[in-house]
Structure 1
Amino acid sequence: MTNNFKASPADDATLLKVVTDYAYALDVLDQYDHQVLAISDTTEEELYKISYEEAMWAINGLREKFGGSSLFGNEKDDSFQGSLAAIYQTFDGQYVYPSIEEKAANLLYFVVKNHSFSDGNKRIAAFLLVWFMEKNRILYCADGSKRIADNALVAITLMIAESKPVEKEMMIKVMVSLINGKN
């Protein structure tokens, strides 16, 4: 089968615009396909450290937004405290997750995967991610736009929920690529 399509100058301009506008996303996908995705362009200076008490206060406020169900945000065990503590782990005096973006991505991952609550785990995880980013002043770009779009937040949260534990590191790299300084 032969292709008889002949591009016009307008088609060439459209193609160039789309490729240019989405070059970063296409590069991330290429790096993912070749298993060379790396963490880069992150923020080291932490302005805010999330605490269990403050996180539970925020979750209780979120509960009201979702109808006040007693199951929403109801802890099943102590794993939520473990999720929060895990993002501040150190080894040999250095943070295991040194950047805000790495802490944020791991917070999302741990809260989704540990399934610490009777109901609302994905919503709580996504909320805590953006709340943590806002408290550390990385939620918005310099021009005021969101660093992570609503649809990207939904997609990555669901992708993490469906992922296998052996895929954790790649999930974190994808998440950091969505929220790093290049976005």
Structure 2
Amino acid sequence: MKKRKPEIKKGEIVIYESQGGPRLEVHLEQETVWLNQKQIALLFGTQRPAITKHLNNILKSGELSKNSVSSILEHTAADGKKYKTQFYSLDAIISIGYRVNSKRATQFRIWATKTLRSHLIQGYTINEKRLMQAQNQFKELQKTISFLKEKSSHKLLAGQEKEILSLLESYSKTLSLLEQYDKEKLTLSKKAKGKFILKYEHAKEVIGKVKKRLTVKKEASNLFGQENSEKLKAILGNIYQTFAKKELYPSLEEKAAHLLYFVIKDHPFVDGNKRVGSFLFVYFLDKNNYLLKKSGERKINDNALTALSLLIAISAPREKDKLIKIVTNLLAG
């Protein structure tokens, strides 16, 4: 996200008020909210140095990219003067909220997994007037979100609330999707063409290295990555299959999405199908130079990939097309 210098005059709305806590007026822009460090400290009932420490750790660890979650905004202070201040987006606010140890932060975490999710993952803006104006536009979005929300209650996804929230927020913000929702039709995103072909030998090499690393960490058994007949070869053949000399999955996004789906659902291994599927998915995208956004962030980070893998694992066969569309649009967005 490029640095912008808008003046904060319009669009100020209340998004959060804890019991006995602060009532914050914040800026809504680009379908997210922005707070400065002072406001974040007030929100979580702590001091600004603590917020600075958590922000530095978040950025240093690579969980978020500074260019994507921060922006210099110009605002008018109580003294009537205009100041340029660093503001942070909802992604950063949520990440900080899961690190701060305070009563208000605990209240926020409870609120974030319930109230905030109920607004964002249904495609609603917090502004009620804008919601009414956009109802028709978001019909198709709500259908997809309803599917994901239903799956998020599955026992295998217990404890994944933050990941589901982050995944669905990214999904709902994709501009290319919004244009399609205008037409009330979600389609496959087919933008990229990959040059790297994932062959069986490549896959076996990657799986071997992954198993060796996980075994050292005592996170994999001898059965991890052990093939179940020749299903892996069949899967790799499927993603490159043709009909009348035309590929059935011509785009890089489609190939990657089907690779992830087939490995998880077809169980080509005795153990570790979700993990192997995720590793091969990342490897395939990386070899095709399609793993990262321009900002340097992963298009689908580890937490979101974990949530997607679980969603695929618990899905019914009839829901395959929905999941493929979700993955392709997240990659292309």
Are the aligned partners of 2:260 and 2:280 in contact in 1 as well (CA < 8 Å)? yes
SS across alignment from 1:128: helix
What's the offset of the Cα at 1:64?
1.2
Residue in structure 2 matching 1:58, options 206, 224, 237: 206
**Max Rg structure:** 2
Match of 2:12 in 1: 9
The 1-side partners of 2:189 and 2:32 are apart by 20
> What CA deviation, in whole Å up to 9, does each residue of 1:120-147 have, x standing for no partner?
1000000100110000000011221111
Tell me which residue corresponds to 1:49.
Answer: 197
Select 2:325's aligned residue among 166, 173, 178.
Answer: 173
SS at match of 2:293: coil
User: Any conservation in 1 of the 2:189–2:253 contact (CA below 8 Å)?
Assistant: no
* Aligned counterparts of 1:98 and 1:59: Cα–Cα separation in 2: 25
Is 1:32 the counterpart of 2:158? The answer is no
Between the aligned partners of 1:9 and 1:142, the Cα distance in structure 2 is 30
The TM-score, its normalising length taken from structure 1, stands at 0.83
Q: How does 1:92-107 map to 2 (within 5 A)?
A: 92-107=244-259
Percent of counterpart pairs with the same letter?
38
Whether contact under 8 Å (1:37, 1:174) holds in the other structure is no
**1:10-68 deviations in whole A, cap 9, x for unaligned?**
53763623724799x94684362588321126202x12000001100110000012116
Structure 1 vs Structure 2 CA RMSD: 2.7
Separation in 2, partners of 1:124, 1:76: 13
> For 1:65 and 1:14, how far apart are their aligned partners in 2?
46
* Aligned residue identity for 1:175: V
Structure 1 residue 117 and structure 2 residue 269: aligned?
yes
Hey, what's the Cα distance between the residues in 2 that align with 1:145 and 1:80?
29
Alpha-carbon distance, 1:166 to partner? 1.0
**For 1:30, what is the secondary structure of its paired residue?**
helix
Question: 2:302 matched to which residue of 1?
Answer: 150
Instruction: Name the counterpart of 1:76.
Output: 228
- The residue number in structure 2 matching 1:86 is 238
Q: For 2:246 and 2:190, how far apart are their aligned partners in 1?
A: 19
Within the alignment, does 1:19 sit opposite 2:31 as a pair? yes
What is the letter of the counterpart of residue 64 of structure 1?
K
The one-letter amino acid of 1:14's match is V
Write out per-residue CA displacement over residues 63-87 of structure 1, whole angstroms, 9 at most, x where no aligned residue: 0121163201000111111111100
Residues 71 and 118 in structure 1, CA contact (< 8 A), matched pair in contact too: yes
Which structure carries more strand by proportion? 2
Amino acid at match of 2:290: I
Amino acid at match of 1:38: T
In structure 1, the residue corresponding to 2:234 is in which secondary structure?
Answer: helix
- Which amino acid in structure 2 is aligned with residue 53 of structure 1? E
Contact 2:264–2:273 (CA under 8 A) maintained in structure 1: yes
Unaligned runs of 5+ in 2: 1-10, 16-24, 34-89, 91-119, 124-137, 146-180
Task: Give the structure, 1 or 2, with the largest relative contact order (CA under 8 Å, sep 6 or more).
Answer: 1
Scaled by the length of structure 2, what TM-score is found? 0.47
SS at match of 1:145: coil
- C-alpha displacement of 1:114: 0.8
Give distance in 2, aligned partners of 1:79 and 1:86: 10
Matched, 1:159 2:271: no
Work out the CA distance in 2 between the residues paired with 1:15 and 1:66. Answer: 45
